[in-house]
Amino acid sequence: MASRSADLEIEGLVKRFGEVVALDGVSLDIASGELLTILGPSGSGKTTLLKVVAGFETPDAGTVRVDGTDITLLPPARREIGMVFQNYALFPHLTVERNVAFPLEMRNVGRAEIERRVAEALGLVELQGYGKRLPRQLSGGQQQRVALARAIVFNPRLLLLDEPFGALDRKLRETMQLEVRRLQRRLGLTTIFITHDQEEALVLSDRIAVMNKGKIQQVASTTEIYERPANDFVADFVGESNIFHGTVTEVGSVTLESGRRLLIAHGAPVGTRVGVLMRPERFGQGVNSFNGEVKEAVYLGSSLKLRVACDDGVELIVRQPVRGPLPAAGSRVSVAIERESIHVF
Amino acid sequence: MSRRALVVACAAIYVFLMLPLLVVFPISLSSAPYMQFPPPGFSTQWYERYLDDPQWIDATVRSLYIGAATAVLALVLGVPLAFSLARGRYIGRTLLDRIALAPLVVPTIILSVGLYGLFAKLKLIGEWYGLVLAHTVLALPFVVLVIVAGLRDFDRALEQAAEGLGASRMSTLLRITLPLLRPSLVSAGLLAFISSFDELVVALFLAGPNMTLPKKMFDNILMEIDPTIAAVSVMQILLVSIVLVLIGRFGRGLSGSAR
Amino acid sequence: MTRRFSGVWPAVPALILLFFVFLFPVVRMLGFSVEAGTLDWYAKALGEGLYLRVFWNTFEIALLVTAICLLLGYPLGFLIATTTPAWATLGFIFVLLPLWTSVLVRTYAWMVLLGRNGVLNRGLIEAGLISDPLPLLHNFNGVLIGMVHVLLPYMVLPVYGAVRRLDPALVAAAEGLGASDWRIFWRIYLPLTLPGIFAGAVIVFVLSLGFYITPALLGGGKVMMVAVMIEQEVRQTLNWPFAAALSAVLLAVTLGVYSVAQSFTRQEAQR
């Protein structure tokens, strides 16, 4: 399939529903061929953003441009955007084949050409031989693939996926994630993927845009989002975290609100209010050590998760490799972390 | 204990509901010239009399095409109305809703008398299309109720999907929405047909000399009770049964729309 | 297309029909009642004992029919809602079949069943239970039986809906707490299905008020209801102004009952 993949510029989008501000000045650039995930809790505005891009909602302000052309007011039918809906939205009265053929029929593509491209699209999602079935005769994962085939068969300039794997079980979800990734790379298709599942976002994307309360909180690569979150919300929403606030009392050292001092590898000037993030799996050896009492210990198979109430008043979540028996609640432990492993924001 | 009592009580109520429908079967096959029960012997003479009487046949045919025309017109007008009521966002929609369902609440006798006065002036008494117009008014609420219920359960993501895939509003309507609404359309059309086919009060005033089947039956019941009417009744019951089977097979559940 | 009227235009053709074939003729007809510029016809309709009696009669019959329908319809709707799907389908068929059978067919059948020489009286006499036929037809009883038969399904369907909407977990919880069948019924089903019962009762009552066919045929001229009286005023007496006044009163009562009931239901829904 020839790619018509385009870049997308979103600028200053505002959308209100009565009193509710669903989009509060959202701007975002997506490069051609990129897979960007929009990650956020429900009600963060991510679905509204997708609907504005697809053309199902008109924004109160702001523009959407594809390859430099303003499409903000273009009806959805003329946007050339493929979309996979939350519940697939397969047409229940049409066979798999007719579902996939639908966008081509709407573009008056010739019969032979339709047949060829439908077969090709079904081949891409590995559903050869299922063409004559009705959607309800397929499993959830297969329906998902049909929806995907239908969204890409007409060479859209952009692919939008709205929490497409929500209804699938964990194992199938992981398979589908890898498949979408493979397909997207192969077609070089600019893709926006919406999810509230941070793990999914980390697996899939080139970049992640974290959304909350109608605003983009941070747009960055997956590692950057995880290692160097821009604020409390991102740090808390993506992955497990220990977040504290404090003031830089001398360069390279922070005093937390609890009075505890931490050594950091960050050059913020004295007096700066900062947040610090310590990922639970980063504890091991280090200059900052904590002594405390195990409140709770959970065996997770590959690792051990501890909740530790430290003597200096902070409470930490710590992950450790499994060594020996599970520490009992109430037993004393000592954990430590390097100054390089502490992220300051 | 109480469950069994409930079942027994309901069985008795069902007897009450079904008895009138069942009793006409033996009478229609009776050999007696007057109504007599149990029938003294078997005969198909009342069916023959019905079939041989041009008045009965004429009335039946008229009722059939009035019913069919009513169903078509009620769908043509009622389906867009239902779309507007279910999906429109405008001032006065609630009022419109009330008006659309008003023919269900306003006593038919009042509508009949009103139309009688107007149609007499317009020389429309006895015209079949006059009856079709009046029956359509009475059938509209059924169509609206059934289609609105169908639209309420309709997944609008399907329409968005179609539009996103390049379909115009019109193709979306013709290729996605209406085909998926077909069960509701079938139910609505059949209900509209039956409501017209069975309608008496309006026909009494507007049919003039041109009998509809219910009017002919009414006159027969008033004048002379011979078992011909039982034969007609049996055929009516069979027709309704067929329609109910059709609705069950191709339509949207009646119980669903009643809720 | 302004946003204020988005989606209104598909309603327009139907509205034109409703205006010319429903609203206009009815209002025009009702106008006849005050054509003379006075309210004399209303004074007659509501002042003279004879006509007042007919209104009262109609009201009484409607109330009685509603009560009987309630009594018969509740158990039926309840049973259909709580039985297995297969039985429920069957139960529905035998409610819907009568509902959609022509009222004329049913009225005729009741004449066959209830007449002096009808099926019922013959049966009872031959069984030796009575010596003289019971007066079941061409009187109050006949009208009542016929009307209940026509209107019963309108009661069953809302009750069914109300019972179905009930959360089965509530019943299970009550059973789990050791409540007896009757207690569950009185304390859970009945109060929670009250809106459904109310809706059904209002429909039955309102439809009863305007009944024509059944009283005309089964009443034998002895049971006068408003609709029958209106028909006679128009077609026999040709007294249009008076028929219009009677219609106006009937319409006012019908719509009055209906809207009061509607506002009740709305309050119920808000609670």
Whether C210 and B243 lie within 8 Å, measured CB to CB: no
pLDDT tens-digit series, residues B41-60? 888 888 998 999 999 999 99
**Nearest chain B residue (CA) to A94:** B176
Give the model's pLDDT for residue A213: 92
Chains that touch B (3 or more CB pairs under 8 A): A, C
Q: How many CB atoms lie within 10 A of CB C28?
A: 15
Residue A98: pLDDT above 90? yes
* Structure letter (DSSP) for residue A138: S
Q: What is the pLDDT of residues A260-292, one digit of tens each?
A: 888 888 878 888 899 899 999 888 888 888 888
Residue C84, both tokens: 């297995």
Domain endpoint, select from A184, A215, A232: A232
User: Could you tell me the pLDDT band of residue C268, with boundaries at 50, 70 and 90?
Assistant: low
Whether residue A198 is contained in a domain is answered as yes
Q: Would you state the structure tokens that stand for residue B213, as one six-digit string?
A: 């089947």
Interchain pair B110, C230: CB under 8 A = yes
pLDDT in the model for residue A86: 87
pLDDT in tens, C162-171: 888 887 777 7
- Position C2 scores a pLDDT of 43
B37:C112 CB<8 A: yes
Averaged confidence pLDDT in chain C: 87
CA B105 – CA C206 distance, rounded (Å): 7
Contact C161 B91 (CB under 8 A): no
What distance in Å separates the CA atoms of residue B163 and residue A72, rounded to the nearest whole number?
16
What does the pLDDT average to over C19-30? 95
Q: Given pLDDT bands bounded at 50, 70 and 90, which one contains residue A166?
A: confident
State whether A169 and A315 are in the same domain.
no
CA atoms of B239 and B198, how far apart (whole Å): 11
Contact B117 C240 (CB under 8 A): yes
Instruction: Kindly state whether residues A135 and A256 are assigned to the same domain.
Output: no
Is the Cβ pair A56, B165 closer than 8 Å?
Answer: no
Q: Which residues of B touch C72 (CB under 8 A)?
A: 13, 16
Closest in C11, C165, C209 to B85, CB measured: C11
pLDDT at C5 over 80: no
Q: What was the pLDDT predicted at B255?
A: 44
Phi, psi angle pair for B229, to nearest 5°: -65, -30
On whether residue A141 sits in a domain, the answer given is yes
Chains that touch C (3 or more CB pairs under 8 A): B
Residue where a domain terminates, one of A180, A214, A232: A232
Whether B161 and A85 lie within 8 Å, measured CB to CB: yes
Q: Please give the tally of structural domains in chain A.
A: 2
In a domain, A1, yes or no: no
Chains A+C touching (3+ CB pairs under 8 Å) = no
Q: How far apart are CA C67 and CA A141, in angstroms?
A: 55
Q: Which residues of B touch C127 (CB under 8 A)?
A: none
pTM of the model: 0.84
Task: With cut-offs at 50, 70 and 90, classify the pLDDT of residue C1.
Answer: very low
Contact (CB<8Å) C254/B198: no
Per CATH, the architecture of B64-258 is what?
A: Orthogonal Bundle (1.10)
In a domain, A338, yes or no: yes
Pairing of strands A288-299, A332-337: antiparallel
Looking at the domain assignment, is residue A54 inside a domain?
Answer: yes
Q: How big is the A-B interface in CB pairs under 8 Å?
A: 61
- Give the pLDDT band of residue C150 (cuts 50, 70, 90): very high
Chain A interface, Cβ < 8 Å to B: 54-56, 75-83, 85-87, 89, 91-93, 102-103, 106-107, 150-151, 154
Domain that holds residue A268: 240-344
Closest residue in chain C to residue B82, using alpha carbons only: C11
**Of the partner residues B157, B165, B179, the one whose CB lies closest to the CB of residue A102:** B165
Token digits for B111?
């509508």
Whether residues A183 and A307 fall in one domain: no
Q: Does residue A223 share a domain with residue A126?
A: yes
Q: Is the dihedral of CA A217, A223, A227, A228 positive or negative?
A: negative
pLDDT at C102 over 60: yes
Residue A31 to chain B, least CA–CA distance (Å): 22
Angstrom distance (rounded) from CA C252 to CA C207: 14
Q: In whole angstroms, what is the distance from residue A307 CA to residue A305 CA?
A: 7
Closest CA to A62 of A31, A29, A27: A27
- β-strands A81-84, A158-162 pairing: parallel
Residue ranges and CATH numbers for the domains of chain C are 39-270 (1.10.3720.10)
User: What confidence category does residue B253 fall into, taking pLDDT thresholds of 50, 70 and 90?
Assistant: low
Which positions in chain C touch B18 (Cβ < 8 Å)?
Answer: 94, 97-98
| C147: nearest CA partner in chain B | B17
Measure the CA–CA gap between A330 and A307, rounded to whole angstroms.
11
Is pLDDT at C269 greater than 60 in this prediction? no
Give the CATH number for residue A61: 3.40.50.300
Is residue C144 within 8 A of residue C61, CB to CB? The reply is yes
Is residue C215 pLDDT above 60, yes or no? yes
Partner chains of A (3+ C-beta pairs under 8 Å):
B
Task: State the residue for tokens 């009592």.
Answer: B5
Is residue A3 included in any domain, yes or no? Answer: no
Share of chain A above pLDDT 90, in %: 45
- A73 and A216 part of one domain: yes
Give me C15's structure tokens.
């509205």
Which tokens is B196 given? 């017209």
Q: Give pLDDT, residue A220.
A: 92
Q: Does the structure show a pLDDT above 80 at A122?
A: yes
Confidence of residue A300 (pLDDT cuts 50, 70, 90): confident
How far apart (Å, rounded) are the C-alpha atoms in residues B214 and A83?
Answer: 55
pLDDT tier, A3 (very low <50, low <70, confident <90, very high otherwise):
low
